């Protein structure tokens, strides 16, 4: 894009917290932190972050169930240098033993901060209530107890284990890279090939998962959770199969559009008329591999909380009505138009 005011890149490794062993939980997240701590080519621990900050940029990373993603944006003239520094995360990271204690404490600090985040606590409860034999049920963010203390109990070095995790899973075959800037496509492609062709290839290193984490024993449960803030949420999770093949159609976006609509005849319109709800949200932020869990969240009024069973009945009745009617072209066309404008 010749008119782009900044350049950006994101590299996603198709492995995340579901690859962790049950005796060292949080390892994928811990590795994410460790990769920022210098490389053979750029050994200074702060080289990557300072370079980006000094060139009007931002950076971050996140670890999810199936992926770990590293990304940055930077002023266009500094893009090649930033891209080169990012590439070294996956070629010659130092993973220094001297960084272990500080970074495991940084992971622990994130964990403690999330304890005050409503959405994170709800998400963790969902994991906890899933099939205990599935890695989805495991604690994923990590803390001092599940990493540092657990390694001591096992009689192993945490540094040794994080290096092992990196070598086992971080393969070029399960990485995807996206770049953008005001440079030509040919120039961007040349930089990508030049800087990332040395990333080691080990074949497909993604772990095999044992089916869906929500089986018959986990479905049909009603769980009451004390909220951190003064809000009332009714969250219903639907167990779906793998729907990645439908990413171009994105049927969940159709449901999200209708769920949040306040038009007469909509679920939210009805619930507001009853004085039971404030908002309705239903949308996936990313697609999983092998299974899907679709969240349908209704923010309730105090009266709605008292009558949550009637709210549930209304929700299921509305979903059944949508199934009976089938997809409606006007709704689809409106979603398409909005998406095109967003793009």
Give the tokens for residue 45.
């621990």
CA–CA dist 270, 275 (Å, integer): 9
Give the tokens for residue 306.
């008292």
Contact between 171 and 202 under an 8 Å Cβ cutoff? The reply is yes
What φ, ψ does residue 308 adopt, rounded to 5°? -60, -30
Please identify which of the residues 32, 67, 80, 292 carries the catalytic annotation: 32
Q: How many CB atoms are located within 10 Å of the residue 245 CB?
A: 9
Based on the residue annotation, tell me whether 32 is a catalytic residue of this protein: yes
Which alpha helices (H) appear in the chain, and where do they start and end? 27-34, 47-53, 79-87, 97-114, 118-128, 150-154, 158-169, 185-196, 251-259, 267-273, 302-306, 308-325, 329-342
Within 8 A by CB and 6+ apart from 273, the residues are: none
Give the tokens for residue 131.
């099939």
Give the tokens for residue 330.
């006007």
Give the tokens for residue 165.
């995790």
Give the tokens for residue 315.
């929700």
Tally the residues of the chain. Answer: 343
What φ, ψ does residue 277 adopt, rounded to 5°? -140, 155
Within 8 A by CB and 6+ apart from 264, the residues are: none
Phi-psi sector, 38: left (phi>0), alpha (psi -120 to 50), beta: left
CA–CA dist 169, 66 (Å, integer): 12
Task: Give the residue numbers annotated as catalytic, written as ranges.
Answer: 32
């Amino acid at each position: 894009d010749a008119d782009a005011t900044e350049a950006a890149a994101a590299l996603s490794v198709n492995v995340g917290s579901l690859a962790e062993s049950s005796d060292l939980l949080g390892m994928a997240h811990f590795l994410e932190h460790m990769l920022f701590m210098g490389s053979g080519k750029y050994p200074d621990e702060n080289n990557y972050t300072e370079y980006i900050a000094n060139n009007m940029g931002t950076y971050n990373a996140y670890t999810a169930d199936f992926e770990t993603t590293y990304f940055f944006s930077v002023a266009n003239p500094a893009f090649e240098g930033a891209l080169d520094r990012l590439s070294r995360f996956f070629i010659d990271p130092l993973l220094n033993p001297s960084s272990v204690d500080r970074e495991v404490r940084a992971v622990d600090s994130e964990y403690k901060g999330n304890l005050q985040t409503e959405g994170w606590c709800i998400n963790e409860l969902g994991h906890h209530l899933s099939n205990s034999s599935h890695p989805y049920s495991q604690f994923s963010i990590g803390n001092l107890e599940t990493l540092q203390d657990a390694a001591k109990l096992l009689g192993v070095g945490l540094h040794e284990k994080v290096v092992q995790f990196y070598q086992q899973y971080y393969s070029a075959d399960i990485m995807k890279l996206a770049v953008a800037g005001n440079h030509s496509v040919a120039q961007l492609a040349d930089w990508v090939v030049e800087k990332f062709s040395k990333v080691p290839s080990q074949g497909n290193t993604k772990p095999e998962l044992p089916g869906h984490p929500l089986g018959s024993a986990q479905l049909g449960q009603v769980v009451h959770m004390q909220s951190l803030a003064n809000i009332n949420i009714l969250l219903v999770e639907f167990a779906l199969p793998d729907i990645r093949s439908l990413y171009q159609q994105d049927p969940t976006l159709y449901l999200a559009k209708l769920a949040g609509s306040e038009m007469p005849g909509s679920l939210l319109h009805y619930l507001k008329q009853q004085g039971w709800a404030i908002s309705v949200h239903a949308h996936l932020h990313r697609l999983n591999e092998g299974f899907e869990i679709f969240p349908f969240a209704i923010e309730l009024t105090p009266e709605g909380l008292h009558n949550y069973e009637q709210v549930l009945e209304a929700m299921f009745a509305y979903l059944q009505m949508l199934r009976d009617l089938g997809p409606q072209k006007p709704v689809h066309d409106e979603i398409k138009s909005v998406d095109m404008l967003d793009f």
